[in-house]
Chains A and B, each alone.
Chain A
Amino acid sequence: QKEVEQDPGPLSVPEGAIVSLNCTYSNSAFQYFMWYRQYSRKGPELLMYTYSSGNKEDGRFTAQVDKSSKYISLFIRDSQPSDSATYLCAMTDNTDKLIFGTGTRLQVFP
């Protein structure tokens, strides 16, 4: 079993929809949680960073962490075709080694 599980998708939604992306993890020591966006053949781009449990909002993006359930989410409001990409969750404990999910491919169609 992988330390971080993420549904690979693809997830296909119409423009304007609310998108929910999720990851589960098994290591209770994880405290720092990130979401990255990766366009095809590009490097990952840091979108959201959260420490411990709680919510964080940045524009159309909201990250949620529920440590009791070992579950993290990223919500995208008013999704746009330009949001079409692969979304990677990543997390770490007290080290600097990020553990990534496999990524969820999102397609937003006009």
Chain B
Amino acid sequence: DTGVSQDPRHKITKRGQNVTFRCDPISEHNRLYWYRQTLGQGPEFLTYFQNEAQLEKSRLLSDRFSAERPKGSFSTLEIQRTEQGDSAMYLCASSLESPRGGQYFGPGTRLTVL
């Protein structure tokens, strides 16, 4: 079973460094989402793609964050000049266009900024 995969699973970095995460969605899913989850909270939407087009970005996605899905398959999320407040679990999900809301999540990348 090829579910959503994310790499790396854990990342420890120093403040000010850049980090990049990768997400591979379920192969037949054309929609891909990024969420962020902090301890004791539910996931918060960051952005999503339909194929290679980025259709919506949250206000949470500051200028230091950029996401791409160049060929409509895998996606990358880059954080530039990391801050301690960026420490969180970054979750990727994928879905078909229908049914709306039926998103399947990967295991997440846990980021710790020192």
Contact = CB atoms under 8 A, between A and B. Distances in A.
A46 interface: yes
Interface residues of A, number: 29
A62 interface: no
Contacts of A45: 105
A49 B99 contact: yes
Interface residues on B, range: 20 to 34
A100 B33 CA distance: 14
Given A8-B40, A90-B42, A103-B42, A98 B103 contact: yes
Nearest to A105: B40
Interface of B: 4, 6, 31, 33, 35, 40-45, 48, 55-56, 58, 91, 95, 99-108, 110
Interface of A: 4, 6, 8, 32-34, 36, 41-46, 49, 51, 88, 90-92, 94-103
